[in-house]
Structure formats: C-alpha cells, structure tokens
Amino acid sequence: MNTSPDQEHQEHQERLHALRQLLHTYAHQYYVLDAPQVPDAEYDRLFQELQALEAAHPDWVTPDSPTQRVGGKPLEQFAPVRHARPMLSIRTETDTEPSGARSFDARIRKELGLGDADPAVDYVAEPKFDGLAMSLRYENGVLVQAATRGDGETGEDVTQNIRTIKQIPLRLPAEAPAILEVRGEVYMRRDAFDALNARQRQRIADGEKGEKTFVNPRNTAAGAVRQLDPNTTTQRPLSFFAYGLGEVTPPEQGGPDFATHTNLLQTLKSWGFPVTDLVEQARGASELIAYHTRIGALRDQLPFDIDGVVYKVNRLDLQQKLGFVSREPRWAVAHKYPAQEQLTTVLAIDVQVGRTGKLTPVAKLAPVFVGNVTVTNATLHNEDEARRKDVRVGDTVVVRRAGDVIPEVVSVLPAADPAARGPVFAMPQQCPVCGSATVREEDEADYRCTGGLYCSAQRKQAILHFAQRRAVEVEGLGDKLVDQLVDGGLIQTLPDLYRVDVAALAALDRMAEKSAQNVRDALEKSKQTTLARFLFGLGIRHVGESTAKVLARHFGQLDAIMHATPEQLCAVEDVGPIVAQSIHTFFQQPHNREVVAQLRACGLSWAEHTPSVAPPKPLAGKTFVLTGTLPTLSRDQAKDMLEAAGAKVSGSVSKKTDYVVAGTEAGSKLDKAHALGVAVLDEAGLLEMLQGLPADGPLLPE
C-alpha cells in the first residue's frame, strides 16, 4: 500500500521524536549514571539516523536535540565548572575502511583550497582512548582544578579524585605559563582492571555485601572519577594521557607560541605530562591509512582500550583557519574500527564439554556482525558468571568480541516484559555428552565431567595423555594420528587403541605398512609399564606424576587404590582432601572402572607389591624448580633424582621454593629466584647435594 506524503511526513516526525528520546536516555545512562545500556556502535547508529533526518528537514532542528549538544549534565553532587574554552567533541568517521581517511583528507584539502598539484597536508595521528575526557587547570604551575567534560560548556569539579592519579603532576616546572589547561583522557589499564575485578570476586567469595564486578575499563574509570570519597578512587588505579589544551596564557603575555600540534605535545611531555608513544606525524591520506591499519593490528595487544584513531591537522594556524562547524572542529576526526560490541538476542543456552572435561555454558545468539565477523555463539564462562550477569533465554544482550578473543556476553538489557524471560541458568548434574556425573570442587568456579576415559568430548585428550612419554609411552602416537583414529570411528574408548590392527592403521592418511607396524609395536611395548605411569596416564584430575608415584608406593596395588576411601587416600603423603575426593570420585564411576578392566584385559600390566612403610626421604618437604638446560642431565633425569630423594619439583618459583636449579638460558625463573632470595644451584651443586645424601638416597648417573 502506498504511503501519502502527509503520512510519510508524520512517520518521519514520530521517528525523530523517538530517536531524540532514546538518545537522551542513553546519554544520561552513559554520562551521568555511568551505567551504559547499549554499545557505542548502537548509539552512533541512532545518532547518524537522527542527523540524516534533521539534514533532510532543517526546520525540524531544535535547541534540545542531541545533535546540538555535546554530552550529559554534570552530577549534582559535584560543583559545576564553567570551561573557559568549551570541551567539544570530535566528529566520528564510522567508515572503518581506508576510504574514511581519504574522505577526511579530501575535506581538509577542499576547505584549504588545495589542488592536486599542492603538497600533502601534514597531520598528527594518535589513538582514540576509551576513557573519560578531563581538563586539568594549572595556575602559576600548581594544579588548582580538574573538571570533566560534562555538556562541553559546564563540567564537574573532580579535583580531589584526580589528585590520586600519580601520573598527573601537581606542580609544573618554572617555564610553564601562568594559566594552563591541559586536556586529556583518564583511563584504566587492562591489567589494572583485571586485578580490580579479581579483588572484587574475592570480596564476593568472602561474603562481603554490596560488592560487584565491573563491566569494562572505561565505565570503571568514569565511576572512579565520580566517587565522592577520594579513598575509593585510590583503590581503582587510574591513568592519564594528555592530548591537547584549553585556556592558556597567550604568547603576548608570556605564554607558549606553538606552531604545530606535535610541538605542543612535545612541550607537554617535557613539563611532566604522560603523552602516548603511539602519536605519529602523517603526510596525506596514504600515511593516515597506514597508521589506521598499523594501530588496528596492535589494538588487542595494547595495555589500554581504544576504539579508533584520531587525525588532526598538525599546523595550528591551519586549525584556526579551518575553525569549527556546529559541535565539532573541522580540522580533526575520529576514525573508528569495527565495533567490538553489539546488541543481539539469546536464543538458547547450551553447555559445551571441553577436551579436559570442563563444562562451559554458551549462549546461542541471533547472528550479529561484531569485531569484523558474524557471531552466533558467546561464552558465559561458568555458572557463577551466567548467574551474576543473569543471562536468560530471550534476553537482549551486549556481545563483545575483541580480535581473536572468544565472543562473550558483557551485560543484559532490562527486559520490557520480565515474565517473558527464560529460567535462571543452572549447570546440569550429568554431562550432556556422556551422562557421567558432573562435579564442582571446593573453591573452583568450573564444573567438570567425571567420565574422562569414557566421555567422547574428552576422548582425544585422554588418549594423548595416556600415550605420552611420562605415562605409558606409545612412541609415534601423535595428535594427527589420534585425530584420524577418533574421527574415523576406529577408537571409541581408550582400550580400542590396543585393538586397532596394522591394516587399519596402514589405511590412514600418511601411513604406510612399515609405520603402521611401528605403531603396533609401540603399543605392544607400552603394555609393560609401572603402576605409577598407569595411574598418571588415566588422567585423574589433580593426579600428576608425583602424586601417582606416591600412591603407587603407598598402596602397592591398583585394586587397593580403586577401593580406597577418601580418608584412606588422605593418609598418603601430599594427598589432601580435594585430591583424595577426586581420586575416589573417578573410581566410583562404573564406566571408568570398566575402562580400567578392559585395559588390563588388553594386556597392560605392572609389578605390584605389598605396601610397606617407606623410610623418611632426605629431601622431604623441600621444593625445587628446574630451569634452563643442564650440561649433562636432562630435565626428566634431574626431576626423577630429586623426587626419589623426597623433594617436590614445581614449575614456578615462589616464596615457598627452597632451591632453583639453573642451567643455560634460565630466563625469568632465575630472575625471580634472585628477586625472592631463593638459593640457586647449578648442575654441579645439585649433584654435590645428592651425593652427600644418606646411602639410601638416589643413585647418581655414571
């Protein structure tokens, strides 16, 4: 049905009013409440739609339109600050392709009246930090006021909080002008944000009320700046980058006379302000494009969040000539990258089982283009996170994807109809793949499937672990061969490995009869093993090589271990309640016992003995760390010798480490040992220590 001009006119007006109301609401949530409900990309899309409507109908523009202002109102709790020079926004170029930089350069050249034969324009390019814009006012070299952008004309006085940022100088050198307003960005580093959330999670775990984890560094930084108590701000470590100026004593009154923006930034750096090392000069569109591409490739490795880059005409006289249009300077633009956050709908919540048995809830999403790819799945990490975010089927959610990072649900938008939401998520009590019981150990966030030898999701990992050199050792059985065996349906459970014949192996890709026979021979050889190696090969959670050896020595027989109670297992040296329960739970699963029985039936055997009381070990209670390459001993030889003497061999250095044994190219572990004052031995020192042990200590290599 055709729409009359009057109907179309009315629909456009209704859409315009709806857009204004939405944008006002979102801006209030973002700038005033520090609680954004939609991604930046969604706000930008709506803003551009409103701009297009107003451009088509100029008479509809009103002073209260979001296009005629910069941001939100200042919080009532803070004293208002009238900016001597407005803090205006920069126009956003949402074209993420190279054409975005070309368009900006073309506009600048046109405004300056430059032709094709004229030289390239000199620009400054810098990252677009994802933080909170800040103005720092210095009088006679002393910081007297810090103010947020607010609505561009009036901001909020947050001086006391900004003083907590150690990067910001409280006093400037004598050459600084009498009046100086430095404009820049307050932000939170990613590592500081992660550490803050780790502390928050611990407080929640400790039962502290009113605590929560934070959504993203930008929002956390904004909230920290607006804390009424500066002590709270101090606990949320903030950083600062300077990138421009507000009011400054004019040159004729002794103030600085900058010719370029580059010169301005260099001077700010010399006065003690942090300026990013990623600032570069760029001539013409081609160098702007190269910068945009290079920073985009670095984006996910940077220690702070950015959502684009900023281009500015370098010469300040040309900036003045170009001037401003409406709410934005003509001489600058923000060139964005593909949005890393978007809105979509949760269609279902499934549970995936990883190669190690870890259960992960995954939100199935209505397809959405984010971070340069179409996303249909997003991780919810674990049950606690899914419940904390309260993600349910039917919810509208913010999804984030940064680089190669697995997409995740960041937050949930309030539901228009709460009754239409699905139930609260709960992790299943049985593995969705094999039906084995799922367990969540004490002080662990994750649930795990207990059917490690039986669960098809863990099949490849179980085989590779069982066949590795430190377990039963099947030489020649690597990842690619296991992939073919499992994917081709030749192996359903671990015992099937010993039932595959030479003909089946030879028929696989890149396998001939000789290599197939070599694998069969290796399988036959692996049947003669030790109880400790077999136990380790079963892949029981928390049972490493050392624990497997201790169990084998203590019980002497597999059946005794399989039937041991948690209390009996706890009586074993270095076996605590968590490890004991893990061993007990593993052998309580009928299918795990069946796999063990079938492996024995396939011919796997080892020497067993009656348990006997072992004499105390001379290095019992001592922890060693091995690092670097030793002259004559392999890492495994050194480890075996130390463990035979009762020592524990750890993979990382800590205050509990007694000795570090270092060879060539030792690296960071040796550095940490020196920093902590841990004793360091070379191979000769280790052998001398072992040689001096009692006669029943380990034998040294000849």
Which pair of tokens denotes residue 380?
């919810």
CB 347 within 8 A of CB 376: no
CA dist., res. 605 & res. 528, Å (int): 6
Amino acid at 66: P
CB 391 within 8 A of CB 397: yes
CA dist., res. 291 & res. 306, Å (int): 14
Task: Give, in order, the Cα–Cα distances in Å from 192 to each of 18, 168, 284.
Answer: 39, 17, 37
Which pair of tokens denotes residue 615?
């004499």
Which pair of tokens denotes residue 145?
């006021």
Please, is 651 exposed, middle or buried when counting C-beta atoms within 10 Å of its C-beta (0-12, 13-18, 19+)?
A: exposed
Please give the sequence-ordered ranges of beta strands (E in DSSP) within 157-238, or none if there are none: 179-187
CA dist., res. 702 & res. 700, Å (int): 6
Tell how strand 447-449 and strand 623-627 pair up. unpaired
No. of helices (H) and no. of strands (E), the chain: 24, 24
Please, is 618 exposed, middle or buried when counting C-beta atoms within 10 Å of its C-beta (0-12, 13-18, 19+)?
A: middle
CB 305 within 8 A of CB 253: no
Rg, Å, the chain Cα set: 33
CA dist., res. 601 & res. 496, Å (int): 11
Active site residue 209: no
CB 387 within 8 A of CB 424: yes
- Which has the closest alpha carbon to 156: 117, 186, 127? 186
Which pair of tokens denotes residue 261?
């923006």
Please, is 492 exposed, middle or buried when counting C-beta atoms within 10 Å of its C-beta (0-12, 13-18, 19+)?
A: exposed
Active-site residue, selected from the candidate residues 73, 128, 460, 514: 128
DSSP-assigned beta bridge partners for residue 343: 398
Which pair of tokens denotes residue 302?
């940077």
Q: Which residues are catalytic?
A: 128
